[in-house]
Structure 1
Amino acid sequence: MTVPVRIAIDAMGGDHGPETILAGVEVARVRHPDTAFVLFGDEARLRPILEKYPALAASARIVHTDVVVGMDDKPSQALRRGRYRSSMWRAIDAVKVNEADAAVSAGNTGALMAMAKVNLRTMPGIGRPAIAAIWPTLRGESIVLDVGASIGATAQSLIEMAIMGSAMARTVFDIEHPTVGLLNVGVEEIKGVEEVKEAGRILREEGVPDVRYFGFVEGNDIGAGTVDVVVTEGFSGNIALKTAEGTAKQLAAYLRAAMGRTLRARLGYLLARDAFAVLRQKMDPRRSNGGVFLGLNGVVIKSHGGADAEGFAAAVDLGYDMVRHRLLARIQTSIVSRPASVATIGAEAAEAEGQS
């Protein structure tokens, strides 16, 4: 008998309220009937919504919380006000105390990262966590990290992200040896900031088990799918993510305007609507919703705050896959098997990160 995957849900996070969250959980339950859910939030609001989904109600329980972390709360404010009592904290804590295997929230990203880092702590050998996103490409999908957990990165942090991203690619894409590239302003070894050049040198010359290093990649390589894993620091990664989202919306608006401009264009749309349906599906951001917080002693998934039910379900799906395919164990194995020289640098970086 298959052991259920237990997923803790911050039912109060996000822009659209618990109605959308629970609708998304129901979509995920249909796809993964071997899942048990713990819903954290205001029981008076959640109970009537849950009753609309009898099958979900049979596999879920509500844990009442009386504090909601606001989307505009600063991480420090969220920690002071919502620690121990908020739906966000309690969902993360359920993972820590082994009442859940993963936590999913559409709430405030900064607050979620702060609470996850304080509550779960980073894995041994990891200096700082990173947010990894699944990115649609011309070849299929790639993983990009970090897309916003922290600004700036040392060479060692970039190497740790390469290890974690590679483990995630093996988990999500079922690729034995995924390729890993460092995002840079050019592919030549002399280009880029010192941290990126040093990380590239270590990965190229010393090598890291389970990391198939490709070399430097540029911004256009992300959408092209040149590598399976793109590693960068959170500032540039978040800008790249938001730029891609904005470009997709811009292209969709252009197409809608062009297709309705003339009678001939409208007729052309009718003839090509199957092709446009495929394009719409590939550009649908809901299919790739969900960022994984890598490097923590637990699985935490961040859904886009504005996600609809289908989008939130995709984030839950991602959490399910991370648990079923033992992502944490794969990362830990790869970290432990680093060369001694790289591991020493990693221990020093982790210690410095803890003191900062």
Structure 2
Amino acid sequence: MIKISLDLMGGDFGPDVVIPGAAKALERHPELMFVMFGLKEQCEPILDKYPKLKAKSVFHDCELAVAMDEKPSQALRRGRYVSTMWRSIQAVKVGEADVVVSAGNTGALMAMAKFCLRTMANIERPAIAAIWPTLKGESIVLDVGATIGADSQQLLDFALMGGAMARALFEIERPSIGLLNVGVEEMKGQEEVKDAGRLIREANIETLEYAGFVEGDDIGKGTVDVVVTEGFSGNIALKTAEGTAKQISTMLREAMSRTLVARIGYIFAKGAFAVLREKLDPSKVNGGVFLGLNGIVIKSHGGANAEGFAAAIDVGYDMVKNGLTQKIENDLKRYHAKQLPPKGPEAA
């Protein structure tokens, strides 16, 4: 049995999407239990429409919800201990739930999660990892916006955490890792990235296969299982990809309805377009994972529909089932143990 903590008020649509999304996730994973945090007057009438879900849920009435446009510092001051977001995170801290899923304000969610759960030992900065559709299937990209800038050691930490997530999500024994750069040549790029490449290569981490530098077009190709970058460039890459997917979808729709011949052609190619739409559907890979915290936090897209939110719950389910936190802790311990000076006669 896996317990999912839900911030019912998060996202653009709040309980109107979160509750139906939870119901869909329960259909796929009947062993799930839910701990829900919301505003009673808004949530209970919707929850009553899903008796199976309600029977497997515990609902907690809260004082307030964090607004989507609220500044992280303001949300932390106003919503600490009393908001649906804070209390859903706290449920993981106290062991009432195994993972929290929220579609709320990303900055506020990260601030509260970091303050409440704290970062793991030897981790300076948490990262947001996104699941990315590729020509080969899916890959992981991090960081996509938790923090701006990262030094070489932090990029190495991201590689360790991203590799652990790939093993948990894709069940790959030794995932391949690439550092996002402006070229694949060793002399190119910022000093932090070049130093990170050297650190990862010299560390010779047994759970990772370091593939060197990768470029922006390698993300969609699926050249590596995990693409490591810092939050500024990672967020730009993510938003660019989302915008390009919408642009392609809109342009195809317009082209297919422009002339009679095009409309007839669409009828014959309808199956192929359905496959393309499925691959470009962001709800199928919805759910960013906050890595580096003492607990699992899943961030759903704020504009996700019920199917998209259910997909975010699926990610949380997989992360718990496959022991993400333990995998990260084990990889960090192994790496840092190798950095310690030898003891006893060898030290002399």
Shift of 1:212: 1.0
Give the length in aligned residue pairs. Answer: 341
Residue 173 (structure 1) aligned to one of 170, 174, 177: 170
Q: Which residue of structure 2 lines up, in the alignment, with residue 353 of structure 1?
A: none
- Verify: 1:38 aligned to 2:35, yes or no: yes
User: 1:177, CA displacement in angstroms?
Assistant: 1.0
Q: Which runs of 5+ in 2 are unaligned?
A: 342-348
1:108 aligned partner, one-letter code: N
Residue of structure 2 aligned with 1:214, choices 211, 215, 219: 211
Match of 1:25 in 2: 22
Q: Is the 8 A contact 1:209 1:334 kept in 2?
A: no
Secondary structure, counterpart of 2:290 in structure 1 = strand
> In the alignment, which residue of structure 1 is the partner of 2:330?
333
SS of the counterpart of 2:335?
A: coil
Equivalent position of 2:303 in the other structure: 306
**Structure 2 counterpart of 1:163:** 160
**2:232 pairs with 1:235:** yes
Would the alpha carbon gap of residues 243 and 342 (structure 1) be closer, same or farther in structure 2, given more than 3 Å must change? farther
Q: Which residue of structure 1 aligns with residue 51 of structure 2?
A: 54
Aligned match of 2:104? 107
Instruction: Name stretches of at least 5 consecutive residues in structure 1 with no aligned partner.
Output: 345-356
TM-score, structure 2 normalization: 0.96
Contact 1:12/1:41 (<8 A) preserved:
yes
Q: Following TM superposition, by how much is the alpha carbon of 1:322 offset from its aligned partner in structure 2, in angstroms? A: 0.5
CA distance in 2, matches of 1:37, 1:343: 42
Cα deviations by residue, 1:208-230 (Å, 9 ceiling, x for unpaired)? 23121000000000000000000
TM-score (norm 1): 0.94
Q: Determine if the alignment matches structure 1 residue 259 to structure 2 residue 256.
A: yes
Amino acid paired to 1:69: V
Conserved 8 A contact 1:131-1:293: yes
* Structure-1 residue corresponding to 2:344: none
1:64 matched to 2:67? The reply is no
Q: Find runs of 4+ consecutive structure 1 residues off by over 2 angstroms.
A: 339-344
Residue 272 (structure 1) aligns with: 269
CA distance in 2, matches of 1:137, 1:268: 27
Aligned partner of 2:90 in structure 1 is 93
Map of 1:223 onto structure 2 = 220
- Shift of residue 342 of structure 1? 4.9
Give the AA of the match of 1:164: M
Query: Which of 145, 154, 169 is the aligned partner of 1:148?
Result: 145
Who is 1:316 aligned against?
313
* Aligned counterpart, 1:293: 290
- Same amino acid, percent of matched pairs: 64
| CA distance in structure 1 between the aligned counterparts of 2:211 and 2:196, rounded to whole angstroms | 12
Deviation at 1:203, TM superposition (A): 1.2
In the other structure, the counterpart of 1:137 is 134
Determine which of 7, 11, 23 is the counterpart of 1:10: 7
**Do 1:132 and 1:291's aligned partners in 2 also have CA atoms closer than 8 Å?**
yes
Deviation at 1:11, TM superposition (A): 0.2
Q: Which amino acid aligns with 1:316?
A: I
Cα offsets for 1:243-300 (capped at 9, x unmatched): 0000000000110011011111111110011111100000000001110000000000
- Cα contact 1:135–1:144 (8 A) shared by 2: yes
Return the alpha-carbon distance in structure 1 between the equivalents of residues 331 and 176 of structure 2.
Answer: 15
Identify the match of residue 243 of structure 2 among 246, 252, 257: 246
Shift in Å at residue 202 of structure 1?
A: 1.2
The amino acid across from 2:151 in the alignment is T
Q: CA offset at residue 205 of structure 1? A: 2.5
Instruction: Give the corresponding residue for 1:348.
Output: none
Name the CA distance, whole Å, in 2 between partners of 1:97 and 1:206: 35
Instruction: Give the aligned residue type for 1:105.
Output: S
Shift of 1:339: 5.2
What is the one-letter code of the residue matched to 1:149?
A: A
Superimposed CA distance per residue, residues 107-154 of structure 1 (whole angstroms, 9 cap, x where no aligned partner): 000000000000000111111100001000001000000000000001
Q: Does the 8 Å CA contact 1:155/1:198 hold for their aligned counterparts?
A: yes
Q: How far does the alpha carbon of each residue in 1:17-47 deviate from its partner, in whole angstroms, 9 at most, with x for none?
A: 2111101111111111101001101112111
Choose the corresponding residue for 2:124, options 107, 123, 127.
127
- Verify the 8 A CA contact 1:209 1:338 in the aligned structure 2: no
